[in-house]
């Protein structure tokens, strides 16, 4: 089976102009801080991580006697209010905001996932990433008798890789501590994962051996914080301590912070975190995300110069690179597009009205700024090309003389199996332009690359099109290429991929060979002791 066949398991093709950008799977947060309002701190932490997931949000908290979980579909601000947070006292908490890559958008798949161990302890878990051996783990859970059988009233089936991990972890904790159970389970889990999990007393955090997704440790005056990004530490007033290492498990309780190694580190951090996914005010591997994006823009100006009147970004993600392009080229920077900050992309169904409005619902040109100008339009990436195509048409209607598109990442040509909801190969516009002669891990020859870029340029209607080179993008991160995953650009997957029957967002949905797991979550309408 080819990678093209595998990628056909991804989401359907967008059929309108309101194409969603690449989306991260989740954001995770955890805090151990006796004497602090840990539920509210977690709420603020999730607010800072909202960009990483908008489908659902949840918080688990414990005061030492029980684990309470509250979660629901929606944004963090929609799920929680003052009354709910006030009813969640404790000294340890974890939080999660979700965008799904495995499992449907249902309340049952919202996180934290909860299980009860055989000794009666509560276990709540949140996961950022995507596993590639979910089917294998689910079959193990079935063989152990963790699936099937009647559920208690109100319980339903969850179908995510996170639920599989939680079930196996709770089972392993029957004969040992959760810490020991994690040390047994984590070496068998393959894929990208950053985990926060907890029982009544202890906060845990773990990162996969490749460190694909970011995870950091912070210090409060009276406790500790773990989070997907450093920006979340800033929001809650925690000082950055260090990144949690690939292959590391942390346990945080009254005895302090314990570090355990469950696998040898083989760093392969996702380069797309720098390009788009992470907040610009976060830092990854010691490098400012904002500084990286500005530097990409400068390098892009050097690689693809053009004579023009104005550099404008596609807000907001294209803004730092556009600033860098203007600095590197000497072409003035300006704001040519206004973004509607109140247009969310969660739960908006593409009705005929929205299809007709298209990109105008999100962006509107400043006609007096762009009329009669030769524009350089800087964006972070091109996936399907629908957005850029509609945007260029709108800018021409507003009076732009020329439109030169510059992209702050190389052509996206391969799907992601490690936690980004990229389209299938067949949907990616770069694979529908010219002759697809790509070989995973082998750079395209110059003629084929030129043919592809020209095909994309014609497809979106730009006067010229330039992508930053893979080498230029990586250089801007100030990380060695050997420590980065760039599989969506070069097809070189650092974690081996399974067979067709073992991957896909809906792998566990419809009674496949790895059946759904029964959760013990209580009704979403109220706080509960799961």
Instruction: Look at residue 504 in the predicted model and tell me its pLDDT.
Output: 53
Q: Is 281 annotated as a binding residue?
A: no
* pLDDT score of 500 more than 80: no
* pLDDT score of 100 more than 90: no
- Average pLDDT of the residues in 130-153: 76
Q: Is 488 annotated as a binding residue?
A: yes
Q: H or E element: which one contains 93?
A: strand 92-98
Q: Is 416 annotated as a binding residue?
A: yes
Annotated catalytic residue, options 26, 61, 181, 377: 26
Candidate from 171-180, 229-238, 315-324, 356-365 with smallest mean pLDDT: 356-365
pLDDT tens-digit map of 47-60 = 999 999 989 999 99
Instruction: State the pLDDT confidence band at 438, using cuts at 50, 70 and 90.
Output: low
Residues of the chain with CATH 3.40.50.2020: 277-490
Residues 119, 172 contacting (CB under 8 angstroms): no
Q: Is 421 annotated as a binding residue?
A: no
Instruction: State the pLDDT confidence band at 386, using cuts at 50, 70 and 90.
Output: confident
Distance of CA 36 to the CA centre of its chain: 29
| pTM of structure | 0.88
pLDDT tens-digit map of 102-137 = 556 677 789 999 999 988 999 999 999 999 999 999
Residues of the chain with CATH 3.60.20.10: 33-268+509-518
CATH superfamily, domain 33-268+509-518, is: Aminohydrolase, N-terminal nucleophile (Ntn) domain (3.60.20.10)
User: Does the domain formed by 277-490 have CATH 3.40.50.2020?
Assistant: yes
Residues 463, 403 contacting (CB under 8 angstroms): yes
Instruction: State the pLDDT confidence band at 467, using cuts at 50, 70 and 90.
Output: very high
Q: Is 485 annotated as a binding residue?
A: yes
Q: Is 270 annotated as a binding residue?
A: yes
Catalytic annotation present for 26: yes
* pLDDT score of 253 more than 60: yes
Averaged pLDDT of the chain:
86
- Secondary structure E strands in 278-351: 283-284, 287-288, 310-313, 337-339
* pLDDT score of 5 more than 70: no
Please state the length of the chain: 530
Q: Assess whether the previous peptide bond of 112 is cis (omega < 30° from 0).
A: yes
Half-sphere exposure of 242 (CA within 13 A, CB side): 7
- The Cα–Cα gap between 278 and 106 comes to 25
- The Cα–Cα gap between 224 and 226 comes to 7
Tell me which of 10 and 372 has the higher pLDDT.
372
């Amino acid at each position: 089976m080819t990678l093209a066949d595998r990628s056909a398991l991804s989401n359907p093709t967008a059929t309108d102009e309101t194409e969603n950008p690449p989306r991260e799977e989740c954001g995770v947060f955890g805090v151990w801080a006796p004497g602090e309002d840990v539920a509210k701190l977690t709420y603020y932490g999730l607010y800072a991580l909202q960009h990483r997931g908008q489908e659902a949000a949840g918080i688990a908290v414990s005061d030492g006697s029980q684990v309470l979980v509250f979660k629901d579909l929606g944004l963090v601000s929609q799920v929680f209010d003052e009354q709910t947070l006030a009813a969640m006292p404790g000294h340890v908490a974890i939080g999660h905001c979700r965008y799904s890559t495995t499992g449907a958008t249902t309340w049952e798949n919202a996180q934290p996932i909860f299980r009860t161990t055989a000794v009666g302890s509560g276990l709540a878990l949140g996961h950022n990433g995507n596993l590639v051996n979910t089917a294998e783990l689910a079959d193990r859970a079935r063989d152990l008798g963790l699936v099937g059988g009647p559920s208690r009233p109100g319980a339903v089936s969850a179908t995510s890789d996170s639920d599989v991990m939680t079930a196996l972890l709770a089972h392993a904790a029957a004969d040992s501590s959760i810490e020991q159970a994690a040390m047994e389970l984590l070496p068998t889990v393959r894929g990208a994962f950053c985990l926060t999990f907890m029982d009544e007393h202890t906060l845990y955090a773990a990162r996969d051996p490749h460190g694909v997704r970011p995870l950091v440790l912070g210090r409060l005056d009276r406790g500790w914080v773990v989070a997907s990004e450093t920006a979340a530490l800033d929001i809650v007033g925690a000082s950055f301590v260090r990144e949690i290492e690939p292959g590391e498990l942390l346990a945080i309780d009254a005895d302090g912070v314990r570090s355990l190694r469950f696998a040898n580190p083989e760093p392969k951090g996702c380069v797309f975190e720098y390009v788009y996914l992470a907040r610009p005010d976060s830092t990854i591997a010691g490098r400012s995300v904002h500084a990286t994006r500005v530097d990409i823009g400068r390098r892009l100006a050097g690689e693809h110069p053009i004579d023009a009147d104005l550099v404008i970004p596609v807000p907001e993600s294209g803004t730092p690179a556009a600033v860098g392009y203007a600095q590197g080229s000497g072409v003035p920077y300006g704001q040519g597009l206004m973004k509607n900050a109140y247009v969310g992309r969660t739960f908006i169904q593409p009705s005929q009205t929205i299809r007709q409005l298209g990109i105008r619902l999100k962006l509107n040109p400043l006609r007096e700024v762009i009329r009669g100008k030769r524009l350089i339009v800087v964006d972070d990436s091109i996936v399907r090309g629908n957005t850029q195509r509609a945007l260029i048409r709108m800018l021409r209607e507003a009076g732009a003389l020329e439109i030169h598109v510059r992209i702050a990442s190389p052509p996206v040509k391969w799907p992601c199996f490690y936690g980004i909801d990229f389209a299938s190969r067949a949907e990616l516009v770069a694979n529908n332009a010219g002759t697809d002669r790509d070989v995973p891990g082998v750079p395209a020859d110059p003629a084929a690359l030129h043919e592809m870029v020209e095909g994309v340029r014609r497809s979106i209607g730009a006067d010229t099109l330039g992508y930053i080179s893979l080498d230029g993008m990586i250089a801007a991160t100030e990380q060695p290429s050997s420590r980065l995953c760039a599989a969506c650009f070069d097809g070189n997957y650092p974690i081996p991929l399974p067979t067709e029957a073992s991957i896909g967002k809906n792998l566990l949905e419809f009674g496949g060979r790895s059946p759904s797991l029964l959760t013990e979550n209580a009704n979403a309408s109220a706080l509960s002791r799961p």
